[in-house]
Amino acid sequence: MTEKEKMLAGMIYDANYDDELLKERTIAKDLCFEYNYLIKPSEVEKQNEILKKLFGKTKENFTVTAPWYNIELGENFYSNHNVVILDGAKVTFGDNVFIAPNCGFYTAGHPLDSERRNAGLEYAKPITVGNNVWFGAGVHVMPGVTIGNDVVIAAGSVVTKDISDGVVAAGVPCKVVKKITE
Which positions are annotated as active-site residues? 110
Query: Which amino acid is residue 63, in one-letter code?
Result: T
Give the closest residue to 121 by CA, choosing from 11, 18, 13: 13
DSSP string, 74-108: -TTEEE-TT-EEE-SS-EEE-SS-EE-TT-EEE-E
List phi, psi (to 5°) of 144. 80, 5
Query: What single letter denotes the amino acid at residue 122?
Result: E
Residue 90 CB-density burial (10 A; 0-12 exposed, 13-18 middle, 19+ buried): middle
Contacts of 6 (CB under 8 A, 6+ apart): 12, 13
